[in-house]
Structure 1
Amino acid sequence: MSDAEPQRGRARVNGVELSYEIGGTGPTLVLISGLGQNSLAWAGVVDTLRKQFRTLVFDNRGTGQSDVPTAPWTIDDMADDTAALITHLDLGPAAVVGWSLGGSVLQSLLIRHGDVLRAGVLLNALPNYTTVQHRWLDAQLALRRSGVSAEAMVTMTLPWALSSLILSDHDRTAALVDAMVKNPWPTGLDGYAAQAQAIRDYDARPGLPGVTTPTLVLVGAEDILTPIAQSSQIASLIPGADMMVLGKGGHSMVLDFPHEVLRAITGWLTRQPTP
């Protein structure tokens, strides 16, 4: 099997079994998904990234084909999972992109596991939950517990995630919803609720001033779920961090504007030293 062909596997690390896929050639890049998302969240961009990077995607604990351990667990636990997986696969030091909750996991990595990192990109991330985010999460949990259909659940979530580019086109929005509900490994309530509690409890701010890994904080101007102010706060706390605001794009701007997002990420990463 050539290096360019994705290889799928399972690894038992930090007391949990994680499902992963790695492929491509070049410097190592690890992608960490957001709340309730498995590795398929990156499906629209991972092939492009693998033309330039040896790219690892994996299912966080609680999602996809990975274990759903008994709650509670923490963002630090999820960061320990990621660090252990990088070490197990002998991929460090690696560049890591963390999206949303994945950005919280990456902040914990930056604070506690800098030895496995060469660079970090915090994509539409947050340092700690705001009142609005707590209320949004309460609504998400209530909808899941109500037994509402997957189509309705996703449709109600998308306005917080996407810009008007997609939302104003109802045919495109419906097609996106239909594609998302076909996920063969949907996240169950137990996994989602455990991740939800972990992120609502997490506060990266005390540890960020000690980060020494080169870091890019990247956010879209139209992100209403994790707005620019939160990225600005992160960037102000990490010594030497770079911050970039794309002129368009919401919380899921990887779906809205994948070319612009990838251009920003890969352009910055290629300027960072490689081991």
Structure 2
Amino acid sequence: MGEHVRAGDLDIWTEQVGEGPDVLLIGGLGDTVESWQFQLDGLADRYRMTAFDNRGAGRTAMPEGPASAAVMADDAAAVLRALDVPSAHVAGFSMGSAIAQELAVRHPELVRSLVLNSTYARPDALFRSQLDFWRWLPEAAPSGRAFFEAFFTWVYTPRAHADGSVAGIVEEALNFAHGQSTGAFQAQVDVCREHDTTDRLPQIAAPTLVLAGEFDVILPPRFGHAVADAIPGARFEVLPGEAHQPFQEIPDKWNARVDAFWQEVEARN
């Protein structure tokens, strides 16, 4: 069971399970703790796993005023400090990877290692146009179902659409008791649009693994490759046949890969 953790001036919904070295999971646009369920279930026998709802998602409010990846990184740092976690292996996905980058730059003492999945340093012209489209999509969609069905065409593989996985995810989203408001969704889209760590990535000293889906149409591998090139010593790997959210579509393989990376980092210290 999760609980609200007081982090600065914000109550952030947090779930922590398992025992072992600490891991912090940072979700993407609109994602909540539940998006990491395969990791919370699959890795808690080896790690103490912490996930939370970013500001503006799930059970965490979106305060007045502008949001940014830097502000949300400070939220993540406040969660770790509120839970007395001295440092953690940090895994961030999409918008969460932008937050994780900022966390590593702004609070390096809290970051033991970084896994950046479906990541980018700043949006190019095409990605900015996609984000602009997403921003007005919830206002234009004729129903919540139509919004999710349209949005998820960008997110999951043809395989997941064909085997019914996406249909199930749509139903879960529609039935979720803490759905995201249009305003909060748009605020998070703006966070994604304004993210830019291009000139600061070389400051990251934590061991870093960058993962990209071969067929990710939102953030193709070229984005992750550029991030890995900019972070000293970072590794870059492409997941064959995968799209934007492999941690949900192939959780066993994804968990095994990040576990091997974390074990390697642990062995060095």
Task: Using the TM superposition, give the Cα deviation of residue 146 of structure 1 relative to its aligned residue in structure 2, in angstroms.
Answer: 2.5
The alignment-based identity, stated in percent, is 28
Indicate whether 1:92 and 2:122 are aligned: no
Instruction: Tell me what 1:4 maps to.
Output: none
- CA–CA distance in 1 between the matches of 2:187 and 2:3? 24
Question: Which residue in 1 is equivalent to 2:13?
Answer: 19
- The 2-side partners of 1:174 and 1:35 are apart by 19
1:252 — aligned with what?
A: 245
Displaced runs of 4 or more, over 4 A: none
The 3 A distance-change label for structure 1 pair 172 and 41 is: closer
Q: How many residues align?
A: 268
Superimposed CA distance per residue, residues 124-180 of structure 1 (whole angstroms, 9 cap, x where no aligned partner) = 1111112222222222221212353221111111221111211233x4432232122
Q: Aligned ranges for residues 62-141 of structure 1 at < 5 Å?
A: 62-141=56-135
Deviation at 1:204, TM superposition (A): 0.9
SS of residue in 2 equivalent to 1:20? strand
TM-score by length of 1: 0.93
TM-score, normalisation: structure 2: 0.95
Q: Does 1:215 align with 2:215?
A: no
Q: Deviations over 1:78-104 (max 9, x none)?
A: 000101110111112100100000000
- Cα distance in 2 for partners of 1:44, 1:267 equals 17
Alignment partner of 1:58 is 2:52: yes
Aligned counterparts of 2:115 and 2:220: Cα–Cα separation in 1 = 16
Residues 92 and 115 in structure 2, CA contact (< 8 A), matched pair in contact too: yes
CA contact (8 A) 2:26 2:51 kept: yes
* Alignment partner of 1:153 is 2:147: yes
The residue type equivalent to 1:195 in the other structure is: Q
1:239 aligns to what SS in structure 2?
coil
Any gaps of 5 or more consecutive residues in structure 1?
A: 1-6
> What is the rounded CA distance, in whole Å, between the counterparts of 1:58 and 1:175 in structure 2?
23
